[in-house]
Amino acid sequence: MRLSRVPSIEIKTPGQFALMREAGLVVARMLHAAAAAAEPGISTAELDAIAEREMRSAGAQSSFKGYHGYPATICTSVNDQIVHGIPDPAVRLAAGDVLSIDAGAIVGGWHGDAAVTVPVGAVPDQVTALLQACELAMWHGLAAAVAGHHLTDISHAVQTSAQASGEYGIVREYTGHFIGSAMHMDPAVPNYGRPGRGPVLAEGMALAIEPMLVLGAPHNALLDDGWTVVTADGSLAAHFEHTVAITADGPWVLTAEDGGAGGLARAGARAAAASSGARRT
Ligand code: MF3
Ligand code: CO
């Protein structure tokens, strides 16, 4: 009989990590294709079709479509939409918008999940700074995804980085998550908190780290479509996400083409894949 609730975290074999890497690279290509097409005039439904084509041509399946009834392959969240915006033929991008694109893919039953936020045309410096702060906070979280650390060491790294970058709101109601044979696995990975709490991270675990920062207050609301999360005050939001594997050599960012080498270096860490990318793919 279990006397206490100890969350059991899925441990992957090297072969399973290899499939997650394949899924991660598909996600990277989906995001790259959709982001490259995110010009004024295109609809978010067209971006969904572009990402879906990329996914299908790789022989992968969608993590998102059908997930609790979600109707699309990616999430497209514009301006004050924080996450889970539904691609829509009636939503056309305009210069000055900011667009979060979130994509997931399954290869051989194993998931990858990542998101980027991109400017559409020119945006004010303050908006560029928001996007950079959010991405850097994600990289600091990824750099803390090391065997022997506690889960909330990641949370604390994300929060500390975000706060060092400026006066941004950190969304609390939505979090990162563990990932593997399913997209969303327990426990949650908060983007704030004291270090040294939660389960000890171990080799073979994988998680998605996804900070959401806003220019105003972090409070949010759910639209009537049941999915789209918006800032309560209408302020702009940013969202970045990567899936990372915890390996003996350090964090291996499965959804980054370079395994995370570039981003982790910016956060002052070293990627597992930087020295061993060839043998891992
Ligand atoms: N990547 C998203 C997240 O982890 C998942 C999108 S929810 C879906 O929050 F319904 F679109 F799948
Ligand atoms: Co996610």
Neighbours of 42 (CB within 10 A): 17
Query: Could you tell which of 64, 138, 241 is best to mutate to test the pocket of ligand 1, judged by most ligand atoms within 8 Å of the CB?
Result: 64
Residue 16 confidence (pLDDT)? 98
Query: Could you tell which of 65, 76, 102, 138 is best to mutate to test the pocket of ligand 1, judged by most ligand atoms within 8 Å of the CB?
Result: 102
| Cα dihedral 217, 101, 184, 13 in deg (nearest 10) | -130
Q: How many residues does the chain have?
A: 281
Kindly state the DSSP code that residue 8 receives in the 8-state scheme: P
Taking the C-alpha atoms of residue 85 and residue 103, their distance in angstroms, rounded to an integer, is 12
Question: Which is the closest atom of ligand 1 to the Cα of 208?
Answer: 4
Residues with CB under 6 A from ligand 1: 64, 67, 70, 75, 83-84, 102, 104, 113, 177, 208
Q: Which stretches of the chain are DSSP H helices? A: 14-36, 44-57, 125-143, 151-165, 261-266, 272-280
Taking the C-alpha atoms of residue 255 and residue 61, their distance in angstroms, rounded to an integer, is 15
Taking the C-alpha atoms of residue 4 and residue 183, their distance in angstroms, rounded to an integer, is 25
Query: Could you tell which of 70, 101, 177, 240 is best to mutate to test the pocket of ligand 1, judged by most ligand atoms within 8 Å of the CB?
Result: 70
Ligand 2 (single-atom ion) residues, CB below 5 Å: 113, 208
Question: What's the gap in Å between 179 CA and the centre of ligand 2?
Answer: 8
Question: Which is the closest atom of ligand 1 to the Cα of 63?
Answer: 12
pLDDT in tens, the chain (281 residues): 555 555 699 999 999 999 999 999 999 999 999 999 999 999 999 999 999 999 999 999 999 999 999 999 999 999 999 999 999 999 999 999 999 999 999 999 999 999 999 999 999 999 999 999 999 999 999 999 999 999 999 999 999 999 999 999 999 999 999 999 999 999 999 999 999 999 999 999 999 999 999 999 999 999 999 999 999 999 999 999 999 999 999 999 999 999 999 999 999 988 885 444 433 33
Question: What's the gap in Å between 90 CA and the centre of ligand 2?
Answer: 25
Instruction: List the one residue out of 113, 233, 92 whose CA is nearest residue 171.
Output: 233
Cβ–Cβ under 8 Å, residues 171 and 232: no
| Cα dihedral 78, 101, 230, 267 in deg (nearest 10) | -110
φ and ψ of 110, to 5 deg:
-115, 140
* Residue boundaries of the structural domains of the chain: 14-269
Class of domain 14-269 (CATH, top level): alpha beta
pTM check: above 0.75: yes
Taking the C-alpha atoms of residue 248 and residue 216, their distance in angstroms, rounded to an integer, is 39
Taking the C-alpha atoms of residue 105 and residue 56, their distance in angstroms, rounded to an integer, is 10
Of all protein residues, the one whose alpha carbon is nearest to atom 11 of ligand 1 is 64
Ligand nearest to the CA of 100: 1
User: Hunting for tokens 């803390």 — which residue is that?
Assistant: 144
**The tokens of 36 are what?**
């490259």
Neighbours of 128 (CB within 10 A): 13
